[in-house]
Amino acid sequence: MDIEKIIRRNVELRPLTTMRTGGPAAYFAEPSSEEEITALLDYADKKDLEVFILGNGSNVIADDSGFDGLIIKLGNNMSEITVEEDPSDPDYMFITSGAGALLSKLGNTAASEGLEGAEFACGIPGSVGGAVFMNAGAYGADISDIAYEVRYIEDGIVHTRKVSKDDFGYRTSFFAYNNRVVTSLRVRLRKGDKEKINEYVKELRDKRNNSQPLTVPSCGSTFKRPEGYFAGKLIQDSGLKGFSLDDSGAEVSSKHAGFVVNNGGRAGSSDIRRLIRYVQDKVFADSGVRLECEVRFLGGGKE
Ligand SMILES: Cc1cc2nc3c(=O)[nH]c(=O)nc-3n(C[C@H](O)[C@H](O)[C@H](O)COP(=O)(O)OP(=O)(O)OC[C@H]3O[C@@H](n4cnc5c(N)ncnc54)[C@H](O)[C@@H]3O)c2cc1C
């Protein structure tokens, strides 16, 4: 396989992230198969390139200086979704989804098949692979509640892992370690009342629309929920709802204090990072709680 054929050079990351920051990636590829991913990892290894796996870019702040290594983006090329009966139990069905599919598509497929449990997934703007990595969740449910089996690549070998709750934690998972690349997810869902499922999807969508700044670039919740607290409430209590340090566009949302947003998409990653640090320091000084980032940083060193 001539893997160089699918590698592009100097690809801008800004349009590939929902925060709308980021300079060029030196090497970039969007593979179509597990074989291509393995070949890309091998290529990076031989060239001593750092690798970053990118899904839908809805939880990463890409650095304005770009990324020197290889971005492997799992997107449309690996987004097939199939639905099948569970042969061992007629009340359940399986949905298998490529890591590059949108999580909302998986959720919507479940709803249209009348399968319950994946309603929470409909409003999360990540890919299936990113959602497995992060154990994405909302409104009391997360990926660990529905995941049955995950395919992933580790050290050049494709593994299929039957998963349990123990493989997942709060916004993290077994797959977030050791450079594992998630290639597909199989969920097992119970057949339910289609009308009720669709009503619940709508209820969650309305809740989200009413409480979150969905029309402004962001990564969703910037910080993890500290045990015993809510990040948004702590930030609000520090008087930072709607706060900005300057007119860069980096702002604590006035709609939801837990979201740092990029107004007009004009702030750079350094503006966003500066604001994040300010919020962390102020909240720590006021409450003694150190907010930890839920967002991940791509390039430019670690936070
Ligand atoms: C408006 C908005 C609302 C949001 N609401 C929620 C919410 O309700 N709940 C929630 O949990 N999150 C929420 N998020 C955050 C985000 O959507 C989730 O974290 C999502 O799971 C990230 O998926 P992604 O494909 O965009 O991952 P990316 O942002 O591309 O990557 C995130 C991390 O996952 C890794 N990764 C991605 N794909 C793979 C893969 N295939 N294999 C291995 N590693 C991989 C990346 O290397 C990176 O470290 C929201 C974001 C926005 C912008």
2-49 pLDDT, tens digit each = 999 999 999 999 999 999 999 999 999 999 999 999 999 999 999 999
Provide CB contacts within 8 A for 253, sequence distance 6+.
213, 216, 218, 241, 242, 259, 260, 261
Each residue's pLDDT tens digit, 271-303: 999 999 999 999 999 999 999 999 999 998 544
Q: Give the whole-angstrom CA distance, residue 128 versus residue 180.
A: 14
pLDDT at 301: 57
The answer on 207 and 123 residing in a single domain is yes
Residue with tokens 């299929």: 160
What is the arithmetic mean of pLDDT over 157-163? 98
- Percent over 90 (pLDDT), the chain: 98
Q: How confident is the model at residue 188 (pLDDT cuts 50, 70, 90)?
A: very high
pLDDT at 1: 84
Are 128 and 185 in contact by the 8 Å Cβ rule? The answer is: yes
pLDDT at 303: 45
| 127 is a catalytic site residue | no
pLDDT at 300: 86
Q: How confident is the model at residue 110 (pLDDT cuts 50, 70, 90)?
A: very high
Mutate-to-test residue for ligand 1 from 19, 20, 71, 133, highest number of ligand atoms within 8 A of CB: 133
Of the candidates 30, 119, 251, 294, the residue annotated as catalytic is 294
Distance from the CA of 208 to the center of ligand 1, in angstroms? 17
Of the candidates 104, 221, 238, 253, the residue annotated as catalytic is 221
Q: Give the whole-angstrom CA distance, residue 24 versus residue 67.
A: 6
In terms of Cα–Cα distance, which of 295, 168, 165, 169 is closest to 224?
A: 295
Q: What residues flank ligand 1, with Cβ below 6 Å? A: 18, 52-60, 74, 99, 124-127, 129-131, 133-134, 136-138, 175, 181-182, 212, 214, 218-220, 296
The answer on 60 and 110 residing in a single domain is no
Indicate if the pLDDT at residue 71 is higher than 60: yes
Indicate if the pLDDT at residue 168 is higher than 60: yes
Which helix (H) or strand (E) segment holds residue 183: the answer is: strand 181-191
Question: Structure tokens of 235?
Answer: 């930030």
The answer on 186 and 83 residing in a single domain is yes
Last residue of a domain, one of 181, 211, 241: 211
The answer on 180 and 137 residing in a single domain is yes
pLDDT at 302: 47
The answer on 116 and 176 residing in a single domain is yes
The answer on 93 and 201 residing in a single domain is yes
Counting atoms of ligand 1 from 1, which one is nearest the CA of 53? 47
The answer on 173 and 136 residing in a single domain is yes
In terms of Cα–Cα distance, which of 136, 74, 133, 69 is closest to 104?
A: 136
Domain CATH code at residue 292 = 3.90.78.10
The answer on 163 and 105 residing in a single domain is yes
Last residue of a domain, one of 26, 55, 76: 76
The answer on 146 and 83 residing in a single domain is yes
Last residue of a domain, one of 177, 211, 245: 211
* Domain of residue 41, residue span: 3-76
Q: How many domains does the chain have?
A: 3
Q: Is 22 a member of any domain?
A: yes
Question: Atom 9, ligand 1: which residue's CA is nearest?
Answer: 137
Question: Structure tokens of 278?
Answer: 């300010």
DSSP codes joined into one string, 38-66 = HHHHHHHHHHT--EEEESSSSSEEE-TT-
Indicate if the pLDDT at residue 136 is higher than 80: yes
Collapsing DSSP states into helix, strand and coil, what is residue 160? strand
Counting atoms of ligand 1 from 1, which one is nearest the CA of 171? 11
Arithmetic mean of pLDDT over the chain: 97
DSSP codes joined into one string, 81-149 = EEEEE-TT-TTEEEEEEETTSBHHHHHHHHHHTTEES-GGGGG--SBHHHHHHHT-EETTEEGGGTEEE
What is the arithmetic mean of pLDDT over 252-281? 97
Question: Atom 6, ligand 1: which residue's CA is nearest?
Answer: 124
What is the arithmetic mean of pLDDT over 40-62? 98
Distance from the CA of 129 to the center of ligand 1, in angstroms? 8
Q: Is 222 a member of any domain?
A: no
What is the arithmetic mean of pLDDT over 39-67? 98
The answer on 202 and 162 residing in a single domain is yes
Mutate-to-test residue for ligand 1 from 105, 119, 134, 167, highest number of ligand atoms within 8 A of CB: 134
| 34 is a catalytic site residue | no
Distance from the CA of 246 to the center of ligand 1, in angstroms? 28
Counting atoms of ligand 1 from 1, which one is nearest the CA of 74? 41
Q: Give the whole-angstrom CA distance, residue 27 versus residue 44.
A: 9
Q: Give the whole-angstrom CA distance, residue 63 versus residue 251.
A: 17
| 186 is a catalytic site residue | no
The Cα-based distances of 83 to 99, 185, 188 in angstroms read 15, 12, 10
The answer on 248 and 206 residing in a single domain is no
Mutate-to-test residue for ligand 1 from 124, 167, 214, highest number of ligand atoms within 8 A of CB: 124
- Percent over 70 (pLDDT), the chain: 99
Q: What is the pTM of this model?
A: 0.97
Q: Is 14 a member of any domain?
A: yes
Counting atoms of ligand 1 from 1, which one is nearest the CA of 54? 30
Are 281 and 237 in contact by the 8 Å Cβ rule? The answer is: no
User: What interhelical angle do 103-112 and 194-211 show, nearest 10?
Assistant: 150
B/e letters for 98-107, b = 16+ CB within 10 Å, e = fewer, are: bbbbbbbbbb
